[in-house]
Amino acid sequence: MRGRRVLIGVSGGIAAYKTAEVVSNLVKAGAEVQVMMTEAATRLVAPLTFQALSQNPVYTTLLAEPKRYNVEHVALAQWAEAALIAPASANFLARLAAGMADDIVTAVLLAADCPVLLAPAMNPAMWRKPSVQANIARLTGWGYRVVAPGSGRVACGDTGVGRMAEPAELIARLEALFTGEAPLRGRHVVITAGPTREHLDPVRFLSNPSTGKMGYALAAAARDLGARVTLVTGPTYLAHPVGVEVVPVVSAAEMHAAVMARAGDADVFIGAAAVADFRPKHQEGAKVPKAEAATSVELEPTRDILAELGAAKRPGQVLVGFAAETGDLGAKVPAKLRRKQCDLCVGNDVTKAGAGFGHDTNEVVLYYADGREEAVPMQDKGAVAALIMQRATALLASRA
Ligand code: PMT
C-alpha cells in the first residue's frame, strides 16, 4: 500500500468505529489517506479521530471554506486512486443510487473515476429490504464494487446478514485493487443466463420465470476477476454487463448451438440459465387461430447443454451447474451433479422467500463433486455470484 492514495468515506453507521482501524492500518502500511464524512457520521465518531489517524484534515461539508483545495470535491476525486465507503448506510446507498450530490461524500463520488468499494452495514431487516437490494444491484451495475456484509450480531442486538466486513477484509480488497489481482486473467468463462422460450407458433411459447439476474451477476463477477466472459442469454429485460461478450438467444436449441460454438476453449462453464427440458415437437410458422388450436401439445426433449459439456469435459476445465428445486436440496442436487458430471452444483430452493427466480437475493447450497457442502445465506445475487466465482476460481487453481 506504500504511497497509494486512498480516499475513505464514512457514512452514518455504528460500524464507523471500525473504519478508524482501517485508516490506522492503511497509514501504518504506508498509504496516503484522506477521510470525508457525512454529517451523520460526525455524530458517531469525531472527525478529530480520523484527522489524528490519517494525519490529514477531514472533509465534512460541501460548502465550507476550503481546507486545502479550491474545489474540494473535484480535487479529492481526482487525487484518489481508490475510494472505500465504510460503513455505507442504507440511506447513503439510496442517495448514491439516486445520483445525488448533496454532501461532500456523494459529491466526491459523483466526480470520481477511480474504483470505489462500498462496505454496507445495517440491521439485517434493512439489508433484506427490496429497496436496499435494488440500490445495491443498481450500484454494482454501474461498476461500484460491494464488499458484502457478514453475518452475525449487529449493534442493535439482532442477528443476521448486515455486519460491516472486518477491517482486514476491507484492506485486503483495497490491496487487490492496487495489485490488479485478477486470478482469472487470460481465462475464458462461459455463462448461460435467463429463460429459454420454446415457441408453439410466432405468438405463443413455453417458458419459465427466470429473469437472468443470477447469470448476469455471475458474468459481472467473473469479469471483475479479470476473465474474458461470454454470456449466452435467453430473453431478459436486463442491461448488458459492461465488458462482457453477450450472445442473445431465444430457444434451448439456439442456446445449445451458441454455447457449443464458444465453450471449446472455456476454462469455466456456468449453467445459470433455466433451459427448457422439453419443446413442442411441431412449431407452426404462422399464428394458429384459436378455433384451430390443439388443446394438447406433443413435446420432445431438448439437448442438455450442461450434461453434454460434462460428458466431454477437458482436463482442467471447471463445470458449475445450477439446480432450481423445490424442497429438500440434499436429496436431489448431488444426484444431478453426478449425472451432469459437474465440479460444483449450486442448489437453490425456489420456494424460499427471497430465493430463486426473479429476486435480487438468493440463498443457495454449494455441492462439490468431492462430497463437500457449503451453505450460503440469503444475500444479494451480486454477493452470491462473487462467492461462487471465488469457489470456481479455487477449483480451477487446484487443477493447474
Ligand atoms: O434468472 P433468475 O431470475 O435470477 O433466477 C435464477 C435461477 C433460479 C434461474 C438460477 O439460480 C437457477 O437455478 N438456474 C438453473 C435452473 C434450472 O433450469 O435448473 P435445472 O435443474 O432444470 O437444470 C440443471 C442444470 O442443467 C442447470 O445448470 C441448467 O442450466 C442446465 N441445463 C438444463 C437443461 C438443459 N437442456 N440444458 C442445461 O444446460
Do 185 and 224 contact (CB within 8 A), yes or no?
Answer: no
Tell me the average pLDDT across 265-289.
Answer: 97
What is the rounded CA–CA span in Å between residue 251 and residue 234?
A: 7
Do 131 and 122 contact (CB within 8 A), yes or no?
Answer: no
- Ligand 1 within 6 A of 277 CB? yes
Among the atoms of ligand 1, which is closest to the Cα of residue 208?
9
Instruction: Find cell 439437448 and name the residue.
Output: 303
Do 31 and 84 contact (CB within 8 A), yes or no?
Answer: no
Q: Which helix (H) or strand (E) holds 88?
A: strand 82-88
Q: In terms of Cα–Cα distance, which of 30, 36, 33, 31 is closest to 16? A: 36
pLDDT in tens, 347-383: 999 999 999 999 989 999 999 999 999 998 888 898 8
- Ligand 1 within 6 A of 324 CB? yes
- Ligand 1 within 6 A of 361 CB? no
Distant-in-sequence contacts of 58-62, Cβ < 8 A, 24+ apart: 59/34, 59/35, 59/104, 59/108, 60/36, 60/104, 61/103, 61/104, 62/102, 62/103, 62/104, 62/107
pLDDT in tens, 91-103: 999 999 999 999 9
Q: Is the dihedral of CA 322, 324, 327, 331 positive or negative?
A: negative
Cα 396 to averaged position of ligand 1 atoms, centre (Å): 22
Count of CB atoms situated within 10 Å of the CB of 296: 5
pLDDT in tens, 317-340: 999 999 999 989 999 999 999 999
Nearest CA to ligand 1 atom 21: 323
Q: In terms of Cα–Cα distance, which of 326, 325, 353, 342 is closest to 391? A: 342
Do 263 and 242 contact (CB within 8 A), yes or no?
Answer: no
Among the atoms of ligand 1, which is closest to the Cα of residue 277?
36
- Ligand 1 within 6 A of 233 CB? no
pLDDT in tens, 49-58: 999 999 999 9
What is the rounded CA–CA span in Å between residue 355 and residue 286?
A: 38
Do 36 and 10 contact (CB within 8 A), yes or no?
Answer: yes
pLDDT in tens, 127-159: 989 999 899 988 988 889 888 887 777 787 888
Of all residues in the chain, what percent carry a pLDDT higher than 70? 98
- From residue 143, how far is each of 99, 107, 114, 310, 382 by CA, in Å? 14, 17, 10, 33, 12
Instruction: Find cell 472505500 and name the residue.
Output: 84
The three grid cell numbers given for residue 263, joined into one nine-digit string: 465453450
What is the rounded CA–CA span in Å between residue 99 and residue 116?
A: 15
The answer, yes or no, to whether residue 120 has pLDDT greater than 90, is: yes
Q: Return the exposure string of 249-280: e unless at least 16 CB atoms fall within 10 Å of the residue's CB, then b.
A: bbbbebbbebbeebbeebbbbbbbbbbbeebb
pLDDT of residue 133: 87
Count of CB atoms situated within 10 Å of the CB of 175: 16
Among the atoms of ligand 1, which is closest to the Cα of residue 213?
4
- Ligand 1 within 6 A of 192 CB? yes
Q: Record the pTM.
A: 0.69
pLDDT of residue 70: 67
Nearest CA to ligand 1 atom 33: 275
Do 272 and 215 contact (CB within 8 A), yes or no?
Answer: yes
What is the rounded CA–CA span in Å between residue 318 and residue 76?
A: 43
Among the atoms of ligand 1, which is closest to the Cα of residue 273?
30
When comparing pLDDT for 296 and 154, which is higher?
Answer: 296
Choosing from 114, 156, 342, 345, the catalytic residue is: 156
Q: Which helix (H) or strand (E) holds 256?
A: helix 252-262
Type of residue numbered 292: E
Q: Which helix (H) or strand (E) holds 97?
A: helix 90-97
Q: Is the dihedral of CA 44, 2, 105, 69 positive or negative?
A: positive
- Ligand 1 within 6 A of 364 CB? no
Cα 331 to averaged position of ligand 1 atoms, centre (Å): 17
Count of CB atoms situated within 10 Å of the CB of 365: 18
Cis peptide, bond prior to residue 87, ω within 30 of zero = yes
Q: Does residue 156 have an active-site annotation? A: yes
